[in-house]
Structure 1
Amino acid sequence: MPERTLQTVRDLRRSNRSLLLRRLYFGGPLSRQDLIHTTSLSAASVSNVVADLVDDGLVVEAGALESEGGRPRILLRVNSSALHVVGVDVGETRVRVELFDLDLERQAGTDLPLDAGGFTAPEVVTRIRAGLEAVTGAAAPDGPALLGIGIGVPGVVQHSPDAVVHGQTNGWDGVPLERLLHEFTDLPIFIDNGAVTMGQAEMWFGAGRGTRNTVVTLIGSGVGASVVTAGSPYRGSTSSAGEWGHTTVRVDGRRCRCGSRGCLEAYIGAESVIARFLEIADDPAVRDAADEESALAALLARTDSAAAREVLDDTAVHIGAGVANLINLFNPERIVIGGWAGLMLGSALLPRIRETAREYALHHPFSQTRITLGDLGPDAVTRGAATLPVARFLAAGGTRSRAGAQAAPASGH
């Protein structure tokens, strides 16, 4: 009985710390009185937990507010400089590694290109290692400790218990990525699908903030989505939900990289958009561009080209039809178009995308859905990856994870 009581007290303390940390993280700065009014905790509990968090260096004072007829109210916030965290975006053409403070403000970063055909597990691991060394080397030697590494990858991520990645379009079949990374680091590693990490970033800090039912789409070389329902990503039975790019938009249509035909990705993914244009127009600015981002930018700049206008209009129509399918299936409050290619295409084509979605979606759910671009730019996957260790940290009441501890499923706040 005493052991059970101790465990219950320990759990209650962790739960209270988590509750107050999350309130301060997402809503701060707040006073102790604010925390009492917005939680179910007593004044004594708030006072004791806040004192613990201040003693641990996780919460600091952030000024004061004058009050009528009484003492000023001291404001509190999470100490953003208490810890650092690393976010990694494993793209199909490069690996981006960034160092963040606890508020997920960027401190350092590096991009490491992948050679053509270089999307192999050893190549990716090598670049993650080099990126980690670069960004941690840029930090002060006596600076904040590292909370962990969050990684967003293309493909399906399963935890059994270590993270294993399945990527049909890039030839990854059960790659034990977490185990490979632990060969050179003892830091806690948190791995999830890149669209899910980007979705969490947009839900925490960007275009999805304040909503509970939102779809955040990622359009890059490939295409994916994070379907957030009741504040948490819908994952399906084996974590493969959200493969929006591999929904069929044309039976017997264009060949997709996954091997099937008529997938949405074969019409709106950057690689496919560029290929479709070059099939009908031999444009040196697009054909000879240094990378996909440069090629897509050159294509979007060709406003004088009938071929470019045709391909881009067709791309907008397919994005709009795909968005209509999401509206009809999930009835979201908001659909956020993100990813580096999604932001480039959306900036030029959003009116046409909305027009097509209106045409193909059911009228009432369409009228309840806002279609918008992501707020966080092309770095959203990296920042979203960094939310993975931060989410675990907040859920644990400010207790750091052990090396090898995996991420809890991403969720809203």
Structure 2
Amino acid sequence: MQRLYFDGPMSRQALGGATSLSSGSISTIVAELVAEGLVEEAGTVDSDGGRPRTLLRVAPSGACLIGVDVGETRVRVELFDLALAELARCDRPLRRNGYDVTSVVRHISEGVREVMNEAGITADLLLGVGVGIPGIVDRGSDDAGTGAVVYGQTIGWDAVPLESLLRDCAVLPPGTRFFIENGAKTLGQAEMWFGGGRGVRDAAIVLFGSGVGACLVTDGAVFGGARGSAAEWGHTTLRVRGRQCRCGALGCLEAYAGAEALVQRWQEAGATLPADTDEETAVTALLAAAHPEEGPADPVALNVLDETAEYLGAGISDLINLYGPERVLLCGWAGLQLAPYILDDVRRHAKAYALRHPAERVTIELGRLGPDAVTVGAATLPLADFFARGGRLHEQAAEGEAPVERAGWRATMETRTLAAASKEPVRK
């Protein structure tokens, strides 16, 4: 299933060569998967002198996945088919400083119910629910049966048993799989599987939103979510006795380079914003002041942007020196919004602060999956589990739609990349 998913469409003969299975085994397994609605025909290809060979692909309608992004200002829940095309979504706003555990759990559970009802999906087709969350996710030995526990110092969470709380909501039937990870890690996995990290063995994926985080990929293995890993790169010290970070420490990178810090520094320099202005609107206002369509630029706003580019570049230089990635991807809503104005300066500063040898081999690029990359990445968590379990469903899925020529996830991700540029959601 995994080989067919990432490399399909493929013929039975090609699958045999790719998996080292006999033709009889391939025929038996494919027949089972077709009967379960997980694999379908996708046209034919000419063979050398013989009959045309039938191509197979993973059926997009064979199962569904849910990805959840617990962001700074809202909880976003998206329902995807197996090709990761969006079937339904909902956004539930969070009040400022609104990381009340009960509210977040309610938003997730109600959002799951809403998207499944909207798309008419039954629970037997759902492979699982992936959740991207700020903070450190610890599973421990799970002797107490609590599942994933979240330590989110910046959001006021200390050992929150999020997985058991979600299970207790009873929105989904017992046995529903929940997969909870740091949001930077889910984003990183999505970019490595489908986006700007494909084909790269060593990478650093930077999540630049209200705060900053990173996912590290070393020799193809994704790190960045559990037990104090480099997902908390935003809380490395940039300046001794510097600005106070929302984690309580002084001088963290996040206190200088996150969108929240960016807006605060602009206001401290004299900018005035309405009290109820959200961060995305504030960042848009700063960019309009620094790069107006007409008239002179605001030097204060320009200076704040320049400083942000240098702070971010300096932080990325630490990732370059410590891990020597081939590629650094700048992602997150603020990173994508600011990139047209600061990316060249970020590259320049990162290479200036980094050691010459690792700096010469790295490229710094934009992520390709747009602002929804965290939810896409969260949905890859149950997808990875699905492959690890052998690609099996407990019950037969509904028949899919008519086959199409393109492999499912490739077509979806190409569409998602284009939609990210136009800021339109990807729907099936």
Q: Report the TM-score when normalising by structure 2.
A: 0.85
Q: Judge conservation of contact 2:90–2:115 (CA < 8 Å) in 1.
A: yes
- The one-letter amino acid of 2:9's match is P
Residue number in structure 1 paired with 2:310: 317
What does 1:213-224 correspond to in 2, within 5 Å? 213-224=202-213
Amino acid at match of 2:131: I
- Equivalent residue for 2:289, pick from 302, 313, 321: 302
Counterpart check, 1:263 vs 2:256: no
Alpha-carbon distance in structure 2 between the residues aligned to 1:47 and 1:276 = 63
Q: Aligned equivalents of 2:393 and 2:328: distance in 1? A: 34
Change (3 A) 1:120 1:142: closer
Distance between the aligned counterparts of 1:236 and 1:196, measured in 2?
5
- In the alignment of these two chains, the number of paired residues is 380
List per-residue Cα deviations over 1:230-256 (Å, max 9, x = no partner): 222235982533211011111111111
- Decide which of 268, 279, 288 is 1:292's aligned counterpart: 279
Question: 2:78 matched to which residue of 1?
Answer: 98
Please say if 1:72 is aligned against 2:52. Answer: yes
Q: Distance in 2 between matches of 1:121 and 1:43?
A: 52
- Which of these residues, 172, 175, 193, is aligned with residue 182 of structure 2? 193
Distance 1:194 1:31 in 2: 37
Question: Pick from 142, 148, 173: which aligns with 2:128?
Answer: 148
SS of structure 1 residue aligned to 2:119: coil
Equivalent of 2:29 in 39, 46, 49: 49
State the alpha-carbon separation in 1 of the partners of residues 50 and 262 from structure 2. 64
Whole-Å separation in 1 of the counterparts to 2:195 and 2:213? 18
Residue in structure 2 matched with residue 411 of structure 1 by the alignment: none
**CA 1:265/1:173 → structure 2, altered by over 3 Å: closer, same or farther?**
same
Contact in 1 for aligned 2:30/2:39 (Cα 8 Å)? yes
User: Is residue 321–residue 356 contact of structure 1 (8 Å, CA) maintained in 2?
Assistant: yes
Structure 1, unmatched stretches of 5+, are 1-20, 402-413
CA separation of 1:193 and 1:310: change in aligned 2, threshold 3 A: same
Distance in 2 (alpha carbons) for counterparts of 1:302 and 1:66: 59
In structure 1, distance between residues paired with 2:41 and 2:5: 13
Q: Distance in 2 between matches of 1:37 and 1:364?
A: 40
Q: Corresponding residue for 1:177?
A: 162
In the TM superposition, residue 37 of structure 1 has moved relative to its aligned partner by 2.4
| Equivalent pair of 1:86/1:148 in contact (CA under 8 Å) | yes
Given candidates 360, 364, 367, the residue that maps to 1:374 is 367
| CA contact 2:182–2:226 (8 Å) conserved in 1 | no
CA distance in 2, matches of 1:381, 1:73: 38
Cα deviation code 1:7-65 (max 9, x no counterpart): xxxxxxxxxxxxxx111111111111221222322333222222222222211110001
Selected match of 2:343 from 350, 367, 372: 350
* 8 A Cα contact 2:184 2:224, kept in partner: no
Distance in structure 1 (CA, Å) of the matches to 2:127 and 2:190: 18
Rounded to whole Å, the distance in 2 between the matches of 1:31 and 1:217 is: 38
| Mean Cα deviation higher: 311-320 or 115-124 | 115-124
4+ runs deviating over 4 angstroms: 141-144
1:171 CA displacement: 0.7
Aligned to 2:397: none
What is the distance in 2 between the residues matched to 1:166 and 1:340? Answer: 23
SS in 1 for 2:204: strand
- 8 Å CA contact 1:93, 1:119 repeated in 2: no
Letter of the aligned partner of 2:51 in structure 1? R
Q: Give the match for residue 324 of structure 2.
A: 331
Residues 270-306 of structure 1: per-residue CA shift (max 9 Å, x gap): 110000000012333xx45631111111111112111
Equivalent residue, structure 2, for 1:137: 117
Aligned partner letter, 1:134 = E
The alignment-based identity, stated in percent, is 54
In the other structure, the counterpart of 1:281 is 270
SS in structure 1 opposite 2:4?
Answer: helix
- Residues 12 and 27 in structure 2, CA contact (< 8 A), matched pair in contact too: yes
What are the Cα deviations for residues 281-333 of structure 1, in whole angstroms up to 9, with x where unaligned? 2333xx45631111111111112111100000000001111111111110111
Q: 1:81–1:102: 8 Å Cα contact kept in structure 2?
A: yes
Give the 3 Å change call, closer, same or farther, for CA 236–131 of structure 1 in structure 2. closer
Structure 2 alignment gaps of length 5 or more:
291-296, 395-428
Whole-angstrom CA distance in 2 between matches of 1:69 and 1:246? 62
RMSD after superposition: 1.8
CA offset at residue 124 of structure 1?
A: 0.4
TM-score norm. by structure 1 comes to 0.88
Structure 2: how far apart are the matches of 1:272 and 1:141?
Answer: 41
Which residue of structure 1 lines up, in the alignment, with residue 150 of structure 2?
165
Partner-residue secondary structure (3-state), 1:309: helix
Q: What residue is the counterpart of 2:199 in the other structure?
A: 210
